[in-house]
């Protein structure tokens, strides 16, 4: 079945550093979604991407829909302590009623 | 505006006891509803989803069941809990969060932390 490979699994960075994470798939996706989960909370949608090559920003976050439609990247610039959490990528399954999820990238920021 | 409510926030239950977690959505009609479980703070496992009243799709054979008695109500149940049922349970609905055309993202509830002892 479809799988999303998300890397790195975890990151430990200093406040102010830039962060980059990615998600790859063995099959094509028509939509890529990036979520963030704060500790003890449900995931919240950060960015949605709908077109190959699309580059979309949300504040200090920038995500790109890969040209091959098999990957996506999320960058965070000038990290701050509140960026701590788990970042998930996701894409719709065949009938668009379900999402396929990556296993997440856990981000820790040292102030 | 649409909101999703999930309760309780925390639950500690003995092995063999029943379980009932409830999720309700306000401000929308005929939503797609989802139950997920998350173990050890990583990986979202889809348990059930529903596209309408009484319509339940099960993703993983397990000790749990789901029901949708009303349009905006989704219930997760178990007759006898196992230790392995411990985890963070999340309800979600398919909403209209878009930055453009295309697939709609999910909106999640705040989750229930279940500990089976």
pLDDT digits (tens, 9 = 90+) for B24-82: 999 888 888 999 999 876 789 999 999 889 999 998 867 899 999 999 999 999 999 99
Question: Where does chain B have alpha helices with state H?
Answer: none
Q: Please check the confidence at residue B109 and state whether its pLDDT lies above 90.
A: yes
Edge-to-edge strand list for the sheet holding A55-58: A4-7, A19-25, A71-76, A61-65, A55-58
Which of the residues A31, A43, A54, A87 would you substitute to probe the B interface, choosing the one with the greatest number of B C-beta atoms within 10 Å?
A43
Which of the residues A8, A9, A41, A45 would you substitute to probe the B interface, choosing the one with the greatest number of B C-beta atoms within 10 Å?
A45
Record: contact B98-A48, CB cut-off 8 A: yes
B37 to chain A: nearest residue by CA?
A42
DSSP string, B62-83: SS-EEEEEETTEEEEEESS--G
Residue B74: per-residue pLDDT: 97
d(CA B95, CA B32): 8
- Comparing CA positions, the residue from B25, B104, B110 lying closest to residue A40 is B110
Q: Please check the confidence at residue A55 and state whether its pLDDT lies above 70.
A: yes
Which two structure tokens, joined as six digits, stand for A78?
Answer: 């000038």
Residue B97: per-residue pLDDT: 45
Record: contact A45-B103, CB cut-off 8 A: no
Record: contact B43-A33, CB cut-off 8 A: no
Q: Please check the confidence at residue B7 and state whether its pLDDT lies above 50.
A: yes
Query: Considering CB atoms only, which of B90, B103, B108 is closest to A31?
Result: B103
Query: Largest alpha-carbon pair distance within chain A?
Result: 43
What percent of chain A is predicted at pLDDT more than 70? 95
Q: Are B106 and A101 in contact (CB under 8 A)?
A: no
Residue A107: per-residue pLDDT: 97
Query: Considering CB atoms only, which of B6, B51, B105 is closest to A33?
Result: B105
d(CA B51, CA B43): 23
Average pLDDT of chain A to the nearest whole number: 92
- What's the Cα-to-Cα distance from A53 to each of A18, A21, A79, rounded to whole Å? 21, 17, 25
Query: Considering CB atoms only, which of B42, B103, B109 is closest to A86?
Result: B42
Residue B68: per-residue pLDDT: 96
Q: Please check the confidence at residue A63 and state whether its pLDDT lies above 80.
A: yes
* A1-41 per-position pLDDT tens digit: 567 999 999 999 999 999 999 999 998 988 899 999 998 89
């Amino acid at each position: 079945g479809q799988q999303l490979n998300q890397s790195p699994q975890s990151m430990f960075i200093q406040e102010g550093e830039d962060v980059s994470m990615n998600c790859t798939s063995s099959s094509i996706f028509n939509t890529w979604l990036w979520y963030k989960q704060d500790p003890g909370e449900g995931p919240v949608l950060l960015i949605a991407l709908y077109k190959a090559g699309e580059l979309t920003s949300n504040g200090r976050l920038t995500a790109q829909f890969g040209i091959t439609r098999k990957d996506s990247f999320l960058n965070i610039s000038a990290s701050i302590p509140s960026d701590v959490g788990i970042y998930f990528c996701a894409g719709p399954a065949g009938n668009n009623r379900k999402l396929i999820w990556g296993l997440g990238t856990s981000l820790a920021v040292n102030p | 505006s649409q909101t999703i409510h999930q309760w309780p926030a925390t639950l500690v239950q003995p092995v063999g006891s029943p379980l009932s977690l409830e999720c309700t959505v306000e401000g929308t009609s005929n939503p797609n509803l989802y139950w997920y479980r998350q173990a050890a703070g990583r990986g979202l496992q889809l348990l059930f989803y529903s596209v309408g009243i009484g319509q339940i799709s099960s993703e993983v054979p397990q000790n749990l069941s789901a029901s949708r008695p009303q349009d905006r109500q989704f219930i997760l149940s178990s007759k006898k809990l196992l230790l392995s049922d411990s985890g963070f349970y999340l309800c979600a609905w398919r909403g209209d969060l878009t930055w453009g055309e295309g697939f709609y993202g999910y909106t999640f509830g705040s989750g229930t932390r279940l500990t089976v002892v």
